[in-house]
A = this chain, B = another copy of it.
Protein backbone atom coordinates (compact mmCIF):
# COMPACT_ATOMS: atom_id res chain seq x y z
CA UNK A 1 0.00 0.00 0.00
CA UNK A 2 0.81 3.65 0.24
CA UNK A 3 4.44 4.08 1.29
CA UNK A 4 4.09 7.50 2.86
CA UNK A 5 2.52 9.24 5.81
CA UNK A 6 -1.14 10.11 5.39
CA UNK A 7 -2.02 13.80 5.06
CA UNK A 8 -4.61 15.10 7.47
CA UNK A 9 -6.75 18.19 7.61
CA UNK A 10 -8.60 19.53 10.62
CA UNK A 11 -11.75 21.60 11.04
CA UNK A 12 -12.07 23.27 14.43
CA UNK A 13 -9.65 22.70 17.30
CA UNK A 14 -7.86 26.05 17.50
CA UNK A 15 -4.97 26.37 19.91
CA UNK A 16 -6.37 26.51 23.42
CA UNK A 17 -9.15 24.02 22.85
CA UNK A 18 -9.09 20.64 24.57
CA UNK A 19 -9.97 18.11 21.94
CA UNK A 20 -8.22 19.70 18.97
CA UNK A 21 -4.72 19.12 20.31
CA UNK A 22 -5.72 15.61 21.43
CA UNK A 23 -6.66 14.71 17.86
CA UNK A 24 -3.48 16.32 16.60
CA UNK A 25 -1.23 14.32 18.93
CA UNK A 26 -3.18 11.10 18.51
CA UNK A 27 -3.01 11.20 14.73
CA UNK A 28 0.74 11.79 14.41
CA UNK A 29 2.36 10.05 17.36
CA UNK A 30 2.76 6.72 15.57
CA UNK A 31 4.35 8.30 12.53
CA UNK A 32 1.50 7.24 10.26
CA UNK A 33 0.19 10.70 9.41
CA UNK A 34 1.04 14.36 9.37
CA UNK A 35 -1.14 17.46 9.42
CA UNK A 36 -1.15 19.40 6.19
CA UNK A 37 -4.24 21.57 6.17
CA UNK A 38 -6.84 23.10 8.45
CA UNK A 39 -9.60 25.54 9.17
CA UNK A 40 -9.24 25.73 12.91
CA UNK A 41 -11.67 28.44 13.91
CA UNK A 42 -14.54 30.54 12.66
CA UNK A 43 -12.18 33.48 13.28
CA UNK A 44 -9.65 33.51 10.41
CA UNK A 45 -6.92 35.12 12.52
CA UNK A 46 -7.23 32.40 15.15
CA UNK A 47 -7.13 29.77 12.45
CA UNK A 48 -3.96 31.25 10.98
CA UNK A 49 -2.30 31.41 14.35
CA UNK A 50 -3.02 27.76 15.00
CA UNK A 51 -1.79 26.77 11.55
CA UNK A 52 1.45 28.61 12.15
CA UNK A 53 1.92 27.06 15.60
CA UNK A 54 1.85 23.62 14.06
CA UNK A 55 4.10 24.64 11.16
CA UNK A 56 1.52 24.33 8.37
CA UNK A 57 2.03 25.86 4.97
CA UNK A 58 0.00 29.12 5.26
CA UNK A 59 -1.62 28.38 1.92
CA UNK A 60 -3.24 25.32 3.45
CA UNK A 61 -4.77 27.22 6.36
CA UNK A 62 -8.29 28.24 5.44
CA UNK A 63 -10.74 30.82 6.75
CA UNK A 64 -13.79 28.59 6.49
CA UNK A 65 -14.45 24.90 6.14
CA UNK A 66 -16.19 25.68 2.85
CA UNK A 67 -13.07 27.25 1.46
CA UNK A 68 -11.13 24.25 2.69
CA UNK A 69 -13.41 21.74 0.97
CA UNK A 70 -13.29 23.64 -2.27
CA UNK A 71 -9.58 24.31 -2.44
CA UNK A 72 -8.40 20.97 -1.07
CA UNK A 73 -10.61 19.14 -3.50
CA UNK A 74 -8.85 20.87 -6.36
CA UNK A 75 -5.33 19.97 -5.21
CA UNK A 76 -3.51 17.22 -7.08
CA UNK A 77 -3.52 13.70 -5.66
CA UNK A 78 -0.06 13.96 -4.19
CA UNK A 79 -0.89 17.05 -2.19
CA UNK A 80 -4.54 16.80 -1.22
CA UNK A 81 -5.36 15.89 2.34
CA UNK A 82 -6.28 12.19 2.74
CA UNK A 83 -8.66 12.65 5.62
CA UNK A 84 -10.33 15.41 7.61
CA UNK A 85 -10.85 15.45 11.37
CA UNK A 86 -13.84 17.49 12.47
CA UNK A 87 -13.76 18.78 16.04
CA UNK A 88 -16.22 21.66 15.95
CA UNK A 89 -19.20 22.20 18.28
CA UNK A 90 -21.94 19.60 17.89
CA UNK A 91 -24.29 21.78 15.86
CA UNK A 92 -21.98 21.92 12.86
CA UNK A 93 -20.83 18.28 12.89
CA UNK A 94 -23.22 17.00 10.28
CA UNK A 95 -23.07 19.83 7.78
CA UNK A 96 -19.27 19.86 7.77
CA UNK A 97 -18.96 16.08 7.64
CA UNK A 98 -21.44 15.99 4.77
CA UNK A 99 -19.51 18.63 2.83
CA UNK A 100 -16.23 16.72 3.08
CA UNK A 101 -17.74 13.30 2.44
CA UNK A 102 -19.56 14.54 -0.61
CA UNK A 103 -16.34 16.10 -1.88
CA UNK A 104 -14.63 12.71 -1.55
CA UNK A 105 -12.73 13.02 1.72
CA UNK A 106 -12.47 10.43 4.45
CA UNK A 107 -13.82 11.82 7.70
CA UNK A 108 -13.04 11.42 11.38
CA UNK A 109 -15.67 13.10 13.53
CA UNK A 110 -15.88 13.88 17.21
CA UNK A 111 -18.89 12.74 19.23
CA UNK A 112 -21.82 13.11 19.71
CA UNK A 113 -22.33 12.71 16.00
CA UNK A 114 -25.39 14.85 15.37
CA UNK A 115 -27.92 17.24 16.90
CA UNK A 116 -30.76 14.75 16.61
CA UNK A 117 -31.52 11.20 15.66
CA UNK A 118 -33.02 12.47 12.42
CA UNK A 119 -29.88 14.36 11.51
CA UNK A 120 -27.79 11.32 12.47
CA UNK A 121 -29.73 9.11 10.12
CA UNK A 122 -29.25 11.61 7.31
CA UNK A 123 -25.51 11.52 7.87
CA UNK A 124 -25.65 7.73 7.81
CA UNK A 125 -27.09 7.93 4.33
CA UNK A 126 -24.41 10.38 3.22
CA UNK A 127 -21.68 8.11 4.55
CA UNK A 128 -23.22 5.12 2.83
CA UNK A 129 -23.33 6.85 -0.52
CA UNK A 130 -19.85 8.31 -0.22
CA UNK A 131 -18.00 4.97 0.09
CA UNK A 132 -15.54 6.90 2.21
CA UNK A 133 -14.14 5.95 5.60
CA UNK A 134 -16.04 7.51 8.46
CA UNK A 135 -14.90 7.13 12.07
CA UNK A 136 -16.43 8.55 15.24
CA UNK A 137 -14.04 9.13 18.14
CA UNK A 138 -15.61 7.22 20.99
CA UNK A 139 -12.04 7.06 22.13
CA UNK A 140 -12.45 5.02 25.30
CA UNK A 141 -12.88 1.87 23.25
CA UNK A 142 -9.27 2.35 22.22
CA UNK A 143 -7.88 1.33 25.62
CA UNK A 144 -6.17 -2.08 25.64
CA UNK A 145 -7.93 -3.31 28.77
CA UNK A 146 -11.34 -2.40 27.33
CA UNK A 147 -10.55 -4.73 24.47
CA UNK A 148 -9.50 -7.38 26.98
CA UNK A 149 -12.84 -7.01 28.80
CA UNK A 150 -14.72 -7.42 25.53
CA UNK A 151 -12.72 -10.52 24.68
CA UNK A 152 -13.31 -12.08 28.11
CA UNK A 153 -17.04 -11.63 27.84
CA UNK A 154 -17.11 -13.05 24.33
CA UNK A 155 -15.19 -16.05 25.58
CA UNK A 156 -17.82 -16.60 28.26
CA UNK A 157 -15.40 -15.99 31.10
CA UNK A 158 -17.95 -14.21 33.28
CA UNK A 159 -20.99 -16.14 32.10
CA UNK A 160 -24.14 -14.45 30.80
CA UNK A 161 -24.28 -10.79 31.85
CA UNK A 162 -26.85 -9.99 34.51
CA UNK A 163 -26.07 -6.52 35.72
CA UNK A 164 -24.21 -3.51 34.35
CA UNK A 165 -23.23 -0.47 36.37
CA UNK A 166 -21.73 2.24 34.21
CA UNK A 167 -20.88 5.68 35.50
CA UNK A 168 -19.28 8.75 34.06
CA UNK A 169 -18.84 11.15 36.98
CA UNK A 170 -17.27 14.55 36.48
CA UNK A 171 -17.36 17.57 38.73
CA UNK A 172 -16.13 20.41 36.56
CA UNK A 173 -19.52 22.11 36.31
CA UNK A 174 -19.39 22.59 40.06
CA UNK A 175 -16.07 24.30 39.64
CA UNK A 176 -16.96 26.48 36.74
CA UNK A 177 -20.55 27.34 37.40
CA UNK A 178 -19.97 31.08 37.46
CA UNK A 179 -18.27 30.95 34.07
CA UNK A 180 -20.50 28.41 32.50
CA UNK A 181 -21.29 30.90 29.79
CA UNK A 182 -17.81 30.31 28.47
CA UNK A 183 -18.87 26.80 27.74
CA UNK A 184 -21.75 27.95 25.60
CA UNK A 185 -21.15 25.26 23.05
CA UNK A 186 -21.92 22.74 25.72
CA UNK A 187 -24.87 24.37 27.44
CA UNK A 188 -26.78 26.15 24.68
CA UNK A 189 -29.35 23.81 23.07
CA UNK A 190 -28.81 25.46 19.70
CA UNK A 191 -25.16 24.49 19.77
CA UNK A 192 -25.06 21.42 21.99
CA UNK A 193 -28.32 19.74 21.07
CA UNK A 194 -31.04 18.50 23.39
CA UNK A 195 -28.65 17.34 26.11
CA UNK A 196 -25.47 18.59 27.73
CA UNK A 197 -24.28 15.87 30.06
CA UNK A 198 -25.93 12.85 28.42
CA UNK A 199 -24.83 14.02 25.00
CA UNK A 200 -21.28 14.79 25.98
CA UNK A 201 -20.45 11.86 28.26
CA UNK A 202 -23.57 9.70 28.61
CA UNK A 203 -23.07 8.66 25.00
CA UNK A 204 -19.58 7.41 25.87
CA UNK A 205 -21.17 5.27 28.58
CA UNK A 206 -23.75 3.79 26.21
CA UNK A 207 -21.04 3.14 23.65
CA UNK A 208 -18.68 1.47 26.12
CA UNK A 209 -21.35 -0.90 27.41
CA UNK A 210 -22.25 -1.93 23.88
CA UNK A 211 -18.62 -2.27 22.80
CA UNK A 212 -17.70 -4.50 25.72
CA UNK A 213 -20.86 -6.57 26.18
CA UNK A 214 -22.56 -6.32 22.80
CA UNK A 215 -25.80 -5.50 24.62
CA UNK A 216 -28.30 -2.99 23.28
CA UNK A 217 -30.63 -0.90 25.38
CA UNK A 218 -34.27 -1.91 25.37
CA UNK A 219 -35.77 0.75 27.63
CA UNK A 220 -34.75 3.40 30.12
CA UNK A 221 -36.13 5.45 32.96
CA UNK A 222 -34.18 8.69 33.23
CA UNK A 223 -34.03 11.36 35.90
CA UNK A 224 -32.13 14.32 34.47
CA UNK A 225 -31.31 17.54 36.27
CA UNK A 226 -30.09 20.95 35.31
CA UNK A 227 -27.91 22.60 37.92
CA UNK A 228 -26.98 25.85 36.22
CA UNK A 229 -29.30 28.82 36.40
CA UNK A 230 -30.96 29.64 33.11
CA UNK A 231 -29.61 26.50 31.46
CA UNK A 232 -32.27 24.10 30.28
CA UNK A 233 -29.95 21.22 29.57
CA UNK A 234 -29.01 18.39 31.90
CA UNK A 235 -25.81 18.39 33.95
CA UNK A 236 -26.58 15.23 35.80
CA UNK A 237 -28.54 12.12 35.01
CA UNK A 238 -29.43 8.87 36.74
CA UNK A 239 -30.86 6.26 34.42
CA UNK A 240 -32.28 2.80 35.02
CA UNK A 241 -31.64 0.60 32.02
CA UNK A 242 -33.02 -2.67 30.73
CA UNK A 243 -30.98 -4.28 27.99
CA UNK A 244 -32.25 -6.57 25.29
CA UNK A 245 -31.83 -10.14 26.47
CA UNK A 246 -32.54 -9.46 30.11
CA UNK A 247 -29.57 -7.71 31.68
CA UNK A 248 -30.39 -4.68 33.80
CA UNK A 249 -28.42 -1.88 35.26
CA UNK A 250 -27.77 1.72 36.00
CA UNK A 251 -26.20 4.36 33.77
CA UNK A 252 -25.07 7.56 35.43
CA UNK A 253 -23.46 10.60 33.87
CA UNK A 254 -22.74 13.72 35.84
CA UNK A 255 -20.92 17.01 35.54
CA UNK A 256 -21.71 18.11 39.09
CA UNK A 257 -20.21 15.22 41.05
CA UNK A 258 -17.91 17.62 42.81
CA UNK A 259 -14.33 16.46 43.10
CA UNK A 260 -14.62 13.79 40.45
CA UNK A 261 -12.33 14.35 37.52
CA UNK A 262 -13.01 11.96 34.67
CA UNK A 263 -13.84 8.78 36.55
CA UNK A 264 -15.59 6.92 33.77
CA UNK A 265 -15.96 3.34 34.99
CA UNK A 266 -17.89 0.18 34.36
CA UNK A 267 -18.79 -2.90 36.37
CA UNK A 268 -20.28 -5.90 34.67
CA UNK A 269 -21.61 -8.88 36.58
CA UNK A 270 -22.15 -12.24 34.98
CA UNK A 271 -23.23 -15.47 36.56
CA UNK A 272 -19.62 -16.59 36.93
CA UNK A 273 -17.61 -13.46 37.69
CA UNK A 274 -17.58 -9.68 37.69
CA UNK A 275 -15.42 -7.21 35.77
CA UNK A 276 -14.36 -3.69 36.66
CA UNK A 277 -12.51 -1.06 34.63
CA UNK A 278 -11.86 2.60 35.35
CA UNK A 279 -10.43 4.99 32.80
CA UNK A 280 -8.50 6.94 35.45
CA UNK A 281 -6.47 3.75 36.05
CA UNK A 282 -6.82 2.37 32.56
CA UNK A 283 -4.05 -0.18 32.35
CA UNK A 284 -5.67 -2.59 34.78
CA UNK A 285 -8.75 -4.78 34.43
CA UNK A 286 -10.19 -6.28 37.58
CA UNK A 287 -11.92 -9.62 37.58
CA UNK A 288 -13.86 -10.53 40.69
CA UNK A 289 -14.22 -14.23 41.18
CA UNK A 290 -16.91 -15.75 43.38
CA UNK A 291 -14.70 -17.79 45.70
CA UNK A 292 -12.61 -15.15 47.36
CA UNK A 293 -10.12 -13.86 44.85
CA UNK A 294 -9.85 -10.85 42.63
CA UNK A 295 -7.52 -10.98 39.67
CA UNK A 296 -6.01 -7.83 38.23
CA UNK A 297 -4.90 -8.16 34.64
CA UNK A 298 -2.40 -5.56 33.54
CA UNK A 299 -1.60 -4.14 30.16
CA UNK A 300 1.34 -5.29 28.12
CA UNK A 301 1.41 -8.89 29.23
CA UNK A 302 1.44 -12.19 27.38
CA UNK A 303 -1.66 -13.40 29.23
CA UNK A 304 -3.88 -10.91 27.39
CA UNK A 305 -5.83 -11.42 24.19
CA UNK A 306 -4.21 -10.41 20.89
CA UNK A 307 -6.29 -7.24 20.52
CA UNK A 308 -5.30 -5.99 23.97
CA UNK A 309 -1.66 -6.75 23.33
CA UNK A 310 -1.72 -5.03 19.96
CA UNK A 311 -3.38 -1.94 21.43
CA UNK A 312 -0.54 -1.34 23.89
CA UNK A 313 2.57 0.52 22.80
CA UNK A 314 4.80 -0.29 25.77
CA UNK A 315 5.82 -3.22 27.95
CA UNK A 316 4.00 -4.03 31.19
CA UNK A 317 4.36 -1.46 33.93
CA UNK A 318 4.91 1.41 31.50
CA UNK A 319 1.59 3.28 31.53
CA UNK A 320 -0.21 3.94 28.28
CA UNK A 321 -2.48 6.98 28.64
CA UNK A 322 -5.47 8.72 27.16
CA UNK A 323 -3.68 9.91 24.03
CA UNK A 324 -2.48 6.42 23.18
CA UNK A 325 -6.03 5.07 23.45
CA UNK A 326 -7.21 7.90 21.23
CA UNK A 327 -4.41 7.14 18.80
CA UNK A 328 -5.62 3.56 18.58
CA UNK A 329 -8.87 4.81 17.04
CA UNK A 330 -6.79 6.75 14.52
CA UNK A 331 -4.56 3.77 13.74
CA UNK A 332 -7.55 1.62 12.93
CA UNK A 333 -9.11 4.39 10.85
CA UNK A 334 -5.79 4.77 9.03
CA UNK A 335 -5.82 1.07 8.16
CA UNK A 336 -9.18 1.62 6.52
CA UNK A 337 -8.12 4.87 4.85
CA UNK A 338 -4.97 3.34 3.38
CA UNK A 339 -7.12 0.62 1.85
CA UNK A 340 -9.58 3.19 0.52
CA UNK A 341 -6.81 5.29 -1.00
CA UNK A 342 -5.33 2.18 -2.60
CA UNK A 343 -8.72 1.37 -4.09
CA UNK A 344 -8.96 -1.84 -2.11
CA UNK A 345 -11.81 -3.26 -0.15
CA UNK A 346 -11.89 -1.62 3.25
CA UNK A 347 -11.08 -4.30 5.86
CA UNK A 348 -13.05 -4.75 9.06
CA UNK A 349 -11.41 -2.35 11.48
CA UNK A 350 -11.89 -1.68 15.17
CA UNK A 351 -13.17 1.90 15.31
CA UNK A 352 -16.61 3.39 16.04
CA UNK A 353 -18.73 3.93 12.96
CA UNK A 354 -21.63 6.03 11.77
CA UNK A 355 -23.89 3.29 13.12
CA UNK A 356 -22.49 3.91 16.62
CA UNK A 357 -23.25 7.56 16.06
CA UNK A 358 -26.86 6.85 15.14
CA UNK A 359 -27.31 4.73 18.25
CA UNK A 360 -25.69 7.47 20.33
CA UNK A 361 -28.20 10.04 19.10
CA UNK A 362 -31.02 7.57 19.65
CA UNK A 363 -29.80 7.16 23.22
CA UNK A 364 -29.77 10.92 23.79
CA UNK A 365 -33.29 11.32 22.45
CA UNK A 366 -34.56 8.39 24.47
CA UNK A 367 -33.24 9.55 27.83
CA UNK A 368 -34.38 13.11 27.20
CA UNK A 369 -37.83 11.85 26.20
CA UNK A 370 -38.05 9.76 29.35
CA UNK A 371 -36.98 12.66 31.54
CA UNK A 372 -39.44 15.06 29.91
CA UNK A 373 -42.36 12.65 30.11
CA UNK A 374 -42.37 12.59 33.89
CA UNK A 375 -39.51 10.13 34.11
CA UNK A 376 -41.41 7.26 32.56
CA UNK A 377 -39.90 4.06 31.24
CA UNK A 378 -39.30 4.70 27.55
CA UNK A 379 -38.39 2.29 24.76
CA UNK A 380 -35.10 2.94 23.01
CA UNK A 381 -35.70 4.85 19.82
CA UNK A 382 -34.20 3.60 16.59
Contacts and interface: CB of A to CB of B under 8 A. Distances in A.
Nearest to A242: B223
A296 B295 CA distance: 6
Interface in A152-183: 158-159, 162-163, 165, 167, 170-171, 174-175
Contacts of A227: 162
Given A259-B274, A274-B171, A29 B323 contact: yes
Interface stretch (A18-26, A94-102, A116-124, A354-362): A18-26
A280 B159 CA distance: 26
Interface string A239-275: 0101000001110101011111111000101111110
A289 B302 CA distance: 12
Contact of A290 (B55, B165, B171, B262): B171
Contacts of A85: none
A271 B31 contact: no
A298 interface: yes
Contact of A174 (B170, B261, B271, B316): B271
Contacts of A52: 3
A171 B315 CA distance: 12
Interface in A111-162: 158-159, 162
Determine the main DSSP class of A at the interface with B. Answer: loop
Contacts of A300: 261, 292
Nearest to A177: B271
Given A223-B248, A273-B258, A320 B318 contact: no
A314 interface: yes
| Residue from the set A31, A159, A240, A320 with the largest chain B CB neighbour count within 10 Å | A31
Contacts of A254: 163, 269
Interface residues of A, number: 91
Contacts of A262: 315-318
A375 B220 CA distance: 11
B238 A240 contact: yes
| Residue from the set A158, A240, A304 with the largest chain B CB neighbour count within 10 Å | A240
A162 B236 contact: yes
A222 to B, nearest CB: 9
A319 interface: yes
Contact of A293 (B18, B282, B298): B298
A243 to B, nearest CB: 12
A298 B291 CA distance: 9
A289 B259 contact: yes
A350 interface: no
Given A294-B295, A321-B324, 11 more contacts: A159-B258, A162-B227, A163-B257, A257-B267, A259-B274, A259-B288, A260-B274, A261-B317, A293-B298, A321-B323, A374-B377
24 contacts: A18-B314, A18-B315, A24-B31, A25-B313, A31-B35, A170-B317, A171-B290, A174-B269, A223-B240, A238-B248, A254-B269, A257-B269, A258-B272, A258-B290, A259-B273, A259-B274, A259-B289, A262-B318, A291-B302, A292-B304, A293-B297, A314-B323, A320-B321, A320-B323
